[in-house]
Structure formats: C-alpha cells, structure tokens
A and B are shown apart, each in its own frame.
Chain A
Amino acid sequence: DAMVIQNPRYQVTQFGKPVTLSCSQTLNHNVMYWYQQKSSQAPKLLFHYYDKDFNNEADTPDNFQSRRPNTSFCFLDIRSPGLGDAAMYLCATSRDAGLGGYEQFFGPGTRLTVL
C-alpha cells in the first residue's frame, strides 16, 4: 500500500544534542510537510516543500531545519533541542493543489522526548 513512513516512531535525545527525524513516502506526491504537535493541540505547520522549493513558516524557530534530497524522502533536523521541543512530529504529503484539492496524507508520527 502507498503510504507515509516515519522513523523512528520514538526518539529520545538530550538537551542540546542534534537530532534528525526522517520521513519517506511511496505516494509520489510533490508536496511534503512537517508539523509539530504538542499534547492536546492541533498540529502546527513548521515548513513544507513544494518539489524542491522550501517554504518556511514565519514563526518556525531557526533551530528547526529540513532537507529533501529527493521526491521520496524528507528530513527534519533539530539543531539544539530544548525541553520545549518535546512533541509529536508529523510528516504529511499531498499532491499539487491543482490536481485534486488539498488532502494531506499523514505518517504515524515520531514522538520526541528531550532529557
């Protein structure tokens, strides 16, 4: 089945130690998103890629970076995690808006714990 895969599902890191979360997709979608979701809150968009074009949200801290080496993979890098960065990180994909609306397909998420 076509899907969005996130690894690892659970990640523990230390305060200030860089961490990378990964996302891959078999849907061949050209748009990929990273969200941060804290407990009992809606997902908050950090940034998205439209093909290779990176689109950062205005309020995303510089501590968060992303890479998309090819259509299938996208990475979220947290350069110096703080305690406030502990959250669920969700990856999502969608087709170009012009080809069928804005439905996004989500991965299962990576829960990040910062010690």
Chain B
Amino acid sequence: AQSVTQLGSHVSVSEGALVLLRCNYSSSVPPYLFWYVQYPNQGLQLLLKYTSAATLVKGINGFEAEFKKSETSFHLTKPSAHMSDAAEYFCAVGGNNRLAFGKGNQVVVIP
C-alpha cells in the first residue's frame, strides 16, 4: 500500500526565513505525489504535484518541491516565509483513485 510520512506536526518559522516541510513516501510503483494547503475552515487547495515530468516542481505562492527517488522524498520548500503561509500542509500519494495523506504540518509564522 502507498503511504507518506510527515514528521513534526507543528513547524514554527520566522517571517522571511526558509520554510521546509518534509515528506517521505512509500510506493511500489512510480508515485503521483501532491502537496495541499488548508487554511482554517476551508477545503484543501493544491500547491503542487509530481507526475514524473520533472523532479523539481514549482507550485503556487512561491512553493516548490523536489522529487528524490533515491531518498523516497518529496520535501516542500519556500525561500522566504510570509505571514499568509500560516496554514496546515498535507503531503499525499495517489493511486487507485484515492489519495493517502500524511498527518499534516501546522505551520506557524512568527513575525
């Protein structure tokens, strides 16, 4: 079965500092990988997705992620955190018409 692991439920980052959220996947086939963001009382919004076209994927709001097969990772980064980045972030792996989500990272941005 496919799965993803996100460590550290809460992540604090200073405004202007690097945002790094880690995601490791487990999949027996080439994976489809996703990062979603969720703001309070809202649905999930797709940040970016990996579908084997390019290992470095650029998404919305200045986020990007790099697929590393050797490390089974798909970490999310943003060079400079903004207050509006405070939200919950979910990594997910897709297969069989379903997504397997990680537990999520709650990002807090410190002014």
Contact = CB atoms under 8 A, between A and B. Distances in A.
Contact of A103 (B9, B49, B96): B49
A104 interface: yes
Contacts, number: 67
A108 B101 contact: no
Nearest to A108: B43
B99 A101 contact: no
A81 interface: no
Interface in A1-57: 4, 6, 31, 33, 40-43, 45, 48, 50, 55
Contacts of A4: 43
Nearest to A109: B43
A43 B9 CA distance: 15
Please classify how large the interface on chain A is, using the bins under 10, 10 to 19, 20 to 34, 35 or more: 20 to 34
Given A42-B104, A45-B99, A55-B97, 13 more contacts: A40-B106, A42-B90, A42-B103, A43-B90, A90-B44, A94-B97, A97-B94, A97-B97, A101-B94, A104-B44, A107-B43, A108-B43, A109-B43
Interface of B: 9, 32, 34, 36, 41-46, 49, 51, 88, 90, 94-99, 101-104, 106
